[in-house]
Amino acid sequence: MARTSGKSMFLRGMRDGLPFVLVVGPFGLLFGVIGTEAGLNLAEVMGFTVLVIAGASQITAISLMQENAPILVILVTALAVNLRMAMYSASLVPYLGAAPFWQRGILAYFLVDQSYALAHLEYEKNPERPLGEKMAYFAGTMMVTAPSWYGMTWVGAVLGEAIPDSFALDFAIPITFLALIAPALKTAAHVAAATTSVLLALALAWMPYGTGLLVAAVCAMAVGAAVEIAMEKRA
């Protein structure tokens, strides 16, 4: 029974993750093109995308490298862009924290925006599911999105400039994050944090090497936390 149920949850995760291929694919294609245009060879592009597996920070790092930014600035900015992963991880601990260390290590590697958004929504709806079924669902969400990310990055790196500008691959970035963020704006704290980050990121766009994003991220988290604390006190 458990094995059948686990298989069912795995297939359900694959089904739920399938629509994200429509944006993950172009996102990977875009990074492959950007990486080769920045001077990276095929092995470097693929090593980058497999080891980091985080499109936003990868593109940020490449952009800063082209601007000849200091290594420390590149590392700090890329880490700041990925800081949300730490918050994702913390929010999944109540559901997956009992899993063996090696399994949590694998999940940590595959913890991306898409897998988190799908898994967290599923766990909130059905918190009583056995751990094995939760793990199976998470694995299913990445069974279609991860290969799409790797494969399309390779295609983009191989084809490079052969892909016409009319394809407008950069549409994948805003669409991906809009699809993930919009459903998550459930509370005033979420809305306050999102609004703060958007406004400050635009207002501080003049700062060198994208450091305005760092300031915007820190301020957004502070505002979100303050609003949540105020709401708890009022309640």
Q: What is the mean pLDDT of residues 70-74?
A: 87
Look at residue 119 in the predicted model and tell me its pLDDT: 93
Q: Is 94 exposed, middle or buried (0-12, 13-18, 19+ CB in 10 A)?
A: exposed
DSSP symbols for 32-98: HHHHHHTT--HHHHHHHHHHH--HHHHHHHHHHHHTT--HHHHHHHHHHHTTHHHHHHHHHHHHHTT
Q: What is the mean pLDDT of residues 126-146?
A: 93
Which comes out higher in pLDDT, residue 111 or 4?
Answer: 111
The model's pLDDT over 168-203, given as tens digits with 9 standing for 90+, comes to 555 666 666 666 566 667 778 888 888 998 899 889
Question: Where are the domains positioned within the chain?
Answer: 2-163+171-184, 185-235
Q: Is 31 exposed, middle or buried (0-12, 13-18, 19+ CB in 10 A)?
A: buried
pTM: 0.76
Select from 183, 182, 171 the least CA-distant residue to 25.
171
The model's pLDDT over 8-36, given as tens digits with 9 standing for 90+, comes to 999 999 999 998 888 888 888 888 988 98
Select from 40, 1, 227 the least CA-distant residue to 132.
1
Look at residue 170 in the predicted model and tell me its pLDDT: 59
Provide the token pair at 130: 């056995």
Asked whether residue 1 carries a pLDDT value surpassing 70, the answer given is no
End-to-end Cα separation, the chain, in angstroms: 43
Average pLDDT, the chain: 85
Select from 87, 153, 150 the least CA-distant residue to 120.
87
Torsion sign (Cα): 124, 130, 132, 133: negative
